Amino acid sequence: MSKVTSLGHIGLAVKDMDKMLDFYTRILGMTETDRSERGVFLSAHPETEHHEVLLSHAPDRHTNAQQISFTVGSLDDLRDLYHAIRDYGCGPFRITNHGIAIGCYFRDPENNHVEVYWSTGMDYPQPHGEPIDLEASNDEILQALANMPPKEGSMPRYYGKDVGKRLRPAETSTRS
């Protein structure tokens, strides 16, 4: 049966293009792949996806997404990005342990609700969220994940190949 196979990209209405472009490329690290007078195409993996976010100049619109969420490669990267975003001046932050991910929520320069998140590699029924301190060590954060109690979900579990095993080795660091 024909079906969609994945989310590819989203469009985001932008008031101040220079400011938003600076934030999404310099702070979040996305690559500009194309542009016109009306918009700029951005991708976090430009070799495989032409664009994941299309910034469109539309001063009278606000996208008002419930969330726009980006993956990161490791727990260290999540922490580094959190610091970079904080130093840039965005806020307020909400840092949440979802079990399946540690999510860092904030408002981008035009008040869009954005999340950067690190997938923990374990399954946990959603929705679930509890505050967690990203300044804690990786060991402490992994321990907090390991200590999560079993929880009954609303659905048969789909996520992760080792559903029911709870914790598989997680990519915590990209540093040697």
User: Where in 129-168 is the site for other proteins (CB under 8 A)?
Assistant: 153-155, 158-161
Give me the residue label for tokens 């024909």: 2
Query: Residue 37 — φ and ψ, nearest 5°?
Result: -65, -30
In the DSSP assignment, the letter for residue 83 is: H
Encoded amino acid at 173, one letter: S
d(CA 113, CA 126): 19
What is the nearest approach in angstroms of other proteins to the Cβ of residue 168? Answer: 13
Residues of span 67-126 touching other proteins by CB under 8 A: 67-73, 76-78, 80-81, 84, 100-101, 113, 116-117, 125-126
Q: According to the binding rule CB under 8 A, does residue 59 interact with other proteins?
A: no
Beta carbon nearer to other proteins, 101 or 141: 101
Beta carbon nearer to other proteins, 90 or 101: 101
d(CA 104, CA 115): 5
In the set 16, 19, 22, 29, which binds other proteins (CB under 8 A)? 29
Q: How many CB atoms lie within 10 A of CB 78?
A: 23
Beta carbon nearer to other proteins, 27 or 142: 27
d(CA 97, CA 63): 26
What is the nearest approach in angstroms of other proteins to the Cβ of residue 144? Answer: 19
